[in-house]
C-alpha cells in the first residue's frame, strides 16, 4: 500500500494515482459468480453476438468496482470512500488494458470532515473514456 | 401497449413497491469478491493488518455494494418488462458505515421511477431503482441508485 494521503496534500486538479486493470474472460466469469450477475452477454459469445455485440463485453459494474478500487487505493487506509457514481459510455471487451484515472474537482470541509470530490473515469487502450463518474472521499487532516 | 407507449399500466403499478432481501456478509463472499476484481488491499482479508487500522478488523470493501447481489437484479423487485435486451445505465452508491464479516444486511429495493425515450435502438425504457442497506442494528450503511435500460 502507498503512504497515507492527507487533505493538505491535494488541491483542485491533483491527479488520482492511475490503476491499470487487464480484464480477461476468466475475470468476467469470476465477477459474474462473485457478484451474482449471470447476464449471458458477459460470458456467452454466441448469445452476445445474437444481441448485436462484437462478443462478450466487460460488466459495467466491474468497471464501477475498478473505479472504487482506484479511489480506495489512493485515499489510503485512513481515507474513507463516501460516494461513488458512474455511467457507462461505451463497451469494453476483455483482453485489453483499462486504465482507471481521476482528478480532484473540489475540496471542502463539511461537518468537521475533510472531503475531496473527484471526477473518475475508465480509459480504454485508445484513450477513450468508456466509463465516467464521480467519487467523494474523506481524508485525514494534518491540522 | 397503450398509445404507442412502452410503459404499461402494470409497469406503472410496480413503481414504489418495495422488496426486502437479507444478505449475510461472510469472509468467503468477501474473498471471492476481491479476488474477482483483483484487489490486494490487506484491509479486506488480512486480520493482523486490519487489527491495527481504525476498523480494528477486516471490513468488506465499499465496492461490494456495486455487485448485483447487493444493488442489482438480485435485490430488485420483479418488474414486468416488455423487452428482451437490457443495458446497465450506471449508478450512484453512497457509503455511511463500514460493513464487517458477520453482518447481516437487509437490502430494501424499489422501482422509483420509469422513463421512456426513443433512441437509435428504438423505444427504450429507463428503470430507476433505489436500494437502501441496513445492518442488523438497523443502521443505514449504504444507499444505491441505479438505472436499467431495456429496449
Q: Which residue has the cell 471542502?
A: A108
Q: pLDDT value at position B1?
A: 42
Q: Which one-letter DSSP state was computed for residue A7? A: G
Q: How far apart are CA A50 and CA A56, in angstroms?
A: 11
| Residues of chain A in Cβ contact (below 8 Å) with chain B | 1, 21, 27, 30-31, 33-37, 39, 51, 59-62, 64-66, 68-69, 72-73, 77-78, 80-88, 133
Collapsing DSSP to helix, strand or coil, A23 comes out as coil
Q: pLDDT value at position A98?
A: 98
Cβ pair B67:A59 closer than 8 A: no
Cβ pair A64:B38 closer than 8 A: no
Q: Which residues contact B86 (CB under 8 A, 6 or more apart)?
A: A39, B148, B149, B150, B151
Cα–Cα nearest to A17, from A92, A120, A140: A120
Q: pLDDT value at position B61?
A: 98
Cα–Cα nearest to B106, from B129, B69, B132: B132
| A43-97 per-position pLDDT tens digit | 999 999 998 899 999 999 999 999 999 999 999 999 999 999 999 999 999 999 9
* Residue B2 scores a pLDDT above 80: no
Cβ pair A61:B68 closer than 8 A: yes
Cα–Cα nearest to B125, from B27, B28, B1: B1
Q: pLDDT value at position B102?
A: 98
The ipTM, to two decimals, is 0.95
Cβ pair B53:A77 closer than 8 A: yes
Q: Please check whether residue B37 touches A, CB under 8 A.
A: yes
Which of B69, B71, B91, B96 is the best residue to mutate to test the A interface, defined by the most A CB atoms within 10 Å of its own CB? B91
Q: How far apart are CA B140 and CA B109, in angstroms?
A: 14
Q: How far apart are CA A83 and CA B42, in angstroms?
A: 21
**Phi, psi torsion values for A19, nearest 5 degrees:** -130, 120
pLDDT tier, B40 (very low <50, low <70, confident <90, very high otherwise): very high
Does the pTM exceed 0.90? yes
Strand ranges (E), A37-128: 80-88, 98-110, 113-123
Least confident range from A111-125, B43-57, B67-81, B105-119: namely B67-81
Of A51, A59, A81, the CB nearest to B85: A51
Cβ pair A81:B62 closer than 8 A: yes
Section B60-77 average pLDDT: 92
Q: How far apart are CA A38 and CA A29, in angstroms?
A: 9
Amino acid at each position: 500500500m502507498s503512504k497515507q494521503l492527507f487533505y493538505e496534500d491535494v488541491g483542485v486538479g491533483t491527479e488520482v494515482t492511475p490503476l491499470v486493470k487487464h480484464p480477461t474472460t476468466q475475470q468476467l466469469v469470476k465477477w459474474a459468480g462473485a457478484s451474482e450477475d449471470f447476464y449471458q452477454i458477459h460470458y456467452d459469445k454466441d448469445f452476445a453476438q445474437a444481441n448485436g455485440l462484437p462478443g462478450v463485453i466487460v460488466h459495467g459494474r466491474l468497471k464501477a468496482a475498478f473505479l472504487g478500487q482506484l479511489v480506495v487505493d489512493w485515499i489510503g487506509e485512513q481515507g474513507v470512500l463516501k460516494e461513488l457514481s458512474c455511467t457507462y459510455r461505451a463497451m469494453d471487451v476483455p483482453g485489453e488494458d483499462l486504465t482507471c484515472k481521476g482528478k480532484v474537482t473540489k475540496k471542502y470541509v463539511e461537518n468537521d470532515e475533510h472531503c475531496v470530490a473527484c471526477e473518475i473515469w475508465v480509459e480504454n487502450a485508445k484513450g477513450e473514456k468508456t466509463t465516467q463518474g464521480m467519487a467523494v472521499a474523506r481524508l485525514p487532516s494534518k491540522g | 401497449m397503450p398509445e404507442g407507449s412502452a410503459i404499461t399500466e402494470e409497469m406503472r403499478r410496480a413503481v414504489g413497491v418495495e422488496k426486502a432481501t437479507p444478505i449475510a456478509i461472510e469472509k468467503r463472499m468477501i474473498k471471492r469478491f476481491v479476488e474477482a476484481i483483483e484487489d490486494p488491499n490487506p484491509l479486506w482479508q488480512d486480520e493482523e493488518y486490519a487489527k491495527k487500522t481504525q476498523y480494528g478488523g477486516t471490513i468488506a470493501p465499499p465496492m461490494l455494494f456495486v455487485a448485483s447481489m447487493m444493488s442489482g437484479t438480485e435485490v430488485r423487485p420483479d418488474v414486468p418488462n416488455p423487452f428482451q435486451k437490457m443495458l446497465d445505465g450506471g449508478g450512484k452508491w453512497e457509503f455511511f458505515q463500514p460493513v464487517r464479516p458477520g453482518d447481516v444486511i437487509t437490502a430494501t429495493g424499489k422501482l422509483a421511477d420509469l422513463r421512456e425515450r426513443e433512441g437509435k435502438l428504438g423505444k427504450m425504457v429507463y428503470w430507476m431503482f433505489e436500494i437502501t442497506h441496513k445492518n442488523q442494528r438497523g443502521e443505514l450503511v449504504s444507499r444505491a441508485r441505479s438505472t436499467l435500460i431495456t429496449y
